Amino acid sequence: MKGHKFNKGIFRAYDIRGIVADTLSVQDAYYIGYNFAKKIRDKFKSVNIVVGYDGRLSSPILEKSLIQGLFDNGANIIRIGLCPSPMLYFASIRLRAEGAIMITGSHNPSNYNGFKILTKEGSYFGKELSSLMKIKAMPLIHGKIHYYDISNSYISNLVSAISFKNNDLKVVWDPGNGSTGNIIKKLIKHIPGEHILINSEVDGTFPSHHPDPTEEKNLVEIKKTIKKYNADIGIAFDGDGDRIGVLDSKANFVSGDKLLLLFAMDILKKKPKSKIIADVKASNLIFKTIRSLGGTAIMSKTGHSLIKTKMKETKALLAGEMSGHIFFADEYYGFDDAIYASIRLLNIMSQGFNIKGFLEKFKNLYSTPEIKVFCEDSYKFKIIDKIIKITSKKYRDVSYIDGVRVNLSYGWWLIRASNTQPAIIVRCEANSKKSLTTLIKEVELILLKFDLKLNY
């Protein structure tokens, strides 16, 4: 047991993730479970841990090994089987578990997998997560294992949130062969309107497209389907159902920050002065509009664990990221659930809300999507540290909440290190096409200092 070594690179800022049979092994799963059971026992005495997994081909064998590790250190394991991550979060609350582990590679390619971990106190990340690398040999204390089907309870909870005023909506759904497929099939039977479902079969090879609904290249099929059926809206999910991608009736993509503002506007009508969190990649217009509506706008670091923690600290009712994570504490549990977000969105649309008209707010803004610049994991944070030194001398209005966000009179740009991929993330926004070009060139020159090319 003392001889096991992890690849340190799989321990990210807010989850564990790696390439199966390369940086992440089946043995790793065992020791993660073994160590986590010990941590939970030390903290809470009781060791009830919920385990779920996504549809990746490697997930079942990782689940088996993880459960063995938990079992060998005395955990009472509640298996909920194949599920989206939000269903695991839901189960951990409903079953009052001390801990929960979701086996998922999220939006990464099919050869990736990993673990999202939480306790009853919240997300398990940062130093707590990296502490799982330290292995202490202990006598085996066998626990218990049982299976619990919570899917009907989860679906029932989603159905209870439906409050349609118009039953004529036509919706295209794309689970992208991810683990939301089985849930969406059952859920749409309870939702008024007409529903067209594509790529609903769970398949860990993701034959339809890469499981990230925030990249336009992955939305080709859903765009065609929206136009074919003259649908009112298209909704897509990532591999484990905590990210949402939305398209309007003309198949225009609605970025995560715009979607957040849409929800914020709805909440602020009912609950003025609410606190709303947006991540550092969000448009300036999001923050300005929330404030103009009487809300408190808070900028946060990117990352689902970091944002959930920030929500608890600030008692915010809503939070969101450009990446499509939407977190509702308003009438919900405060975790990122793309399926629940889709229900809230359809409720708003059923009241006559026009997304295409809403997007007009942004017509005078010119922005890039999230641009990913490949950079080795071992190098990316060092680059950001050097860029911080460069910008601190050159610019007056700079935010270092997460990476470097430079604010200028005609726009802003952001450079930050991804916590989930070997990449540096860039985003720019300006008040004209010409200004956007200027911002992009500025970022290009900075990245060239480190032999990195901005392909945009």
Which residues are designated catalytic?
A: 106
- Identify the CA nearest to 263 among candidates 209, 337, 191: 337
The C-alpha atoms of residue 370 and residue 362 are separated, in whole angstroms, by 17
d(C-alpha 404, C-alpha 111), whole Å:
31
Whether the CB-CB separation of 132 and 138 falls below 8 Å is answered with: no
Question: How far apart, in Å, do the first and last CA atoms of the chain sit?
Answer: 48
**Looking at residue 261, what DSSP letter applies?**
H
Structure tokens at 309: 């923690």
Q: Is residue 198 packed enough to be buried (19+ CB in 10 Å), middle (13-18) or exposed (0-12)?
A: middle
**H helix or E strand, kind and range, residue 153:** helix 151-159
CB 114 within 8 A of CB 3: no
Sequence-distant (6+) residues with CB within 8 A of 216 are: 253, 369
Strand partners, 122: 119
